[in-house]
Structure 1
Amino acid sequence: MINSSTIVFITGAYVSHACWDQWQTYFQHKGYNTMAPPWPGKDADTKTLRERYPDKQLAAVSMDDIINQYISIINKLPEKPVVIGHSFGGLFAQVLLNRGYAAAGVAIHAVMPQGIIPYEYNFLKSNLPLLASLNSTYLMPFSRWQFAFTNGMPLEVQQQTYEQLVIPESRKAALGGLTKAAYVDFKKPHPPLLMMAGTEDQCIPAHLCKRVYNSYKDRNSITDFVVKDRNHFVLGQPEWEQDAEEVAGWLRRN
């Protein structure tokens, strides 16, 4: 049973934590206490962060730094929270759940933990440019935003969301996905975990999400998988409230 009224939303790479604004309001109306802390080096609005680019301070941020910051935040809470993460945030949600810091986890279109080799072509096309020049930052160009996040959406929406949300990223942090910072023990019992995937997601294909889901081996732990017709910009699509309700219903049922 999930016994927590606190939700920590965990942002993915490339985008501002403002991507959770609507979700926070939705779950607050459901009675939850919510927060969406920014990653280290990203504690500013989109315009300010872009003006800092290239940003040496952000370039030095590692995946361990990010996960340790979330652990520090969680340790100050009165209860173990539900962790809900998108993309890289979905990976962090799984890591935190696996390490015992969460009452439940939701991984939305999540990056794979260490040891799951991504061979899906669209994943590689979407993410490999991030891994060049590892001691620098990366600002996703608009053309890649169109391909990796907002494919199938109107041009006006693609442009508007790009200006509102896309921020520089630490290449070092992204590379951490290949290290023990991203380790998950798939055989270990864990609190309830919901994994969500999208058939139209080119950044984190549904096939990759399903392979991660199939890696969880403890039959006594609740591990659920849902796939819908969504691209990677699932948090901001017109159907976002349907997905939030799916999560809220899953939390109630468990």
Structure 2
Amino acid sequence: MTASPTPVVFVHGLWLSASSWQPWLDLFAEHGFAPVAPPWPGEPPSVEEARANPESAAGFGIEEVTRHYADIIDGLETKPILVGHSFGGMITEKLLGENRGIAGVAIDAAQIKGVLPVPLSSLRATLPVFKNFANEKRAVSLTADQFRYSFGNALDPAESDALFEAWTIPSPGKPLFEAASANFSPHSPAKVATDNSERGPLLLITGGKDHTVPGSITRSTLKQYRGSSAVTELVEFPDRGHSLTIDSGWREVADSVLSWIEARVGAPATA
């Protein structure tokens, strides 16, 4: 009897289409995995459709997105490896804490409950949402200049603008409001089971030049896991910004993730 390829579920964050994972999907498939990158609830299948129908994604919060991916995982034959970026990194942490994956990689993961530092660069990066409280129930788009600060600050402006045109979509404002109030809410959806010692290994990745999720947030996130005996590790890419999963240096990050998975989980089971 042959084994099925190990599934890998990729979870994107705010303002990037699920299709932005395509180079990762191709690479992981070449290495014998069965990768998928499902869109968020309400997210149309293409960048063009998402931009034409911005409110289709409005109103979805952290818990709704987490349950959406949990349902997808429950439909798989075996537990997957989870890989998430930004708010997708937070969702990855939540799902791993629920034992829904055999391992997790959270890249520039959004701030979970218990993480206290809120650097000024993070506040500026999220200002397009927080400047209007009504955005909690809306979908919000970035301008090219806002994207360049939040995602592409470590890139040549031309590359940042090209990524903006290729991958950005409107995204719900609700998750940002929930994360911002997490430490004042005992039942915040941004809470993660960081004390779970039975979960699979977790890798946290940070970009040293990230404006949206600076390294101080990721290092504080690592400290939240000190009550768990499960493997939790951190890798930093010093010269990278929040665009590190989609820019011209994506392969360096992806290769690092593959190497970590091989070391912590083993080679994929293939048919």
- Name the TM-score class by shorter chain: over 0.9
**Corresponding residue for 2:9?**
8
Cα distance change of structure 1 residues 151 and 223 upon mapping to structure 2, 3 Å threshold: same
**TM-score w.r.t. structure 2 length?**
0.88
CA distance in 2, matches of 1:129, 1:118: 20
Q: Describe how 1:216-235 pairs up with structure 2 within 5 A.
A: 216-218=225-227, 220-228=229-237, 229-235=239-245
Would you say the 8 A contact 1:118–1:124 is kept in 2?
A: no
For 2:248, the aligned partner's letter is: P
**Corresponding residue for 1:150?**
152
User: Deviations for 1:194-216, whole angstroms, at most 9, x for unmatched residues?
Assistant: 00001111111011111101221
Superposed CA RMSD? 1.7
Question: Aligned match of 1:182 in 190, 198, 202?
Answer: 190
How far residue 219 of structure 1 moved from its aligned partner, in angstroms, is: 5.3
Would you say the 8 A contact 2:10–2:83 is kept in 1?
A: yes
**Corresponding residue for 2:255?**
245
**Corresponding residue for 2:141?**
139
Larger displacement relative to structure 2 (226-235 or 112-121): 112-121
For 1:12, the aligned partner's letter is: G
User: Deviations for 1:131-179, whole angstroms, at most 9, x for unmatched residues?
Assistant: 3322222101111101010013222212211111111111123323336
Give the share of equivalent positions with the same residue, in percent.
26
User: Deviations for 1:83-129, whole angstroms, at most 9, x for unmatched residues?
Assistant: 00000000000000001111100000110212323421111110133
CA distance in 1, matches of 2:38, 2:29: 16
Q: Secondary structure at the match of 1:234?
A: coil
**TM-score w.r.t. structure 1 length?**
0.93
Q: Secondary structure at the match of 1:247?
A: helix
User: Deviations for 1:183-234, whole angstroms, at most 9, x for unmatched residues?
Assistant: 1132221210000001111111011111101221245311110001211000
CA distance in 2, matches of 1:240, 1:73: 26
Q: Does 1:114 align with 2:113?
A: yes
Q: Secondary structure at the match of 2:137?
A: coil
User: Deviations for 1:51-90, whole angstroms, at most 9, x for unmatched residues?
Assistant: 123x1x4222222211111000000101110100000000
CA distance in 2, matches of 1:169, 1:185: 26
Q: Secondary structure at the match of 1:181?
A: coil
Q: Secondary structure at the match of 1:73?
A: helix
Would you say the 8 A contact 1:64–1:176 is kept in 2?
A: no
CA distance in 1, matches of 2:205, 2:30: 22
Moved over 3 A (4+): none
Unpaired runs of at least 5, structure 1: none
CA distance in 1, matches of 2:100, 2:27: 24
Unpaired runs of at least 5, structure 2: 265-271
For 1:224, the aligned partner's letter is: E
Larger displacement relative to structure 2 (174-183 or 125-134): 174-183
CA distance in 2, matches of 1:249, 1:135: 40
Q: Does 1:46 align with 2:56?
A: no
Paired residues, number? 250
Q: Describe how 1:57-206 pairs up with structure 2 within 5 A.
A: 57-131=56-130, 132=132, 133=134, 134-177=136-179, 178=182, 180-189=188-197, 190-206=199-215
Larger displacement relative to structure 2 (175-184 or 64-73): 175-184
Would you say the 8 A contact 1:126–1:147 is kept in 2?
A: yes
Q: Does 1:207 align with 2:216?
A: yes
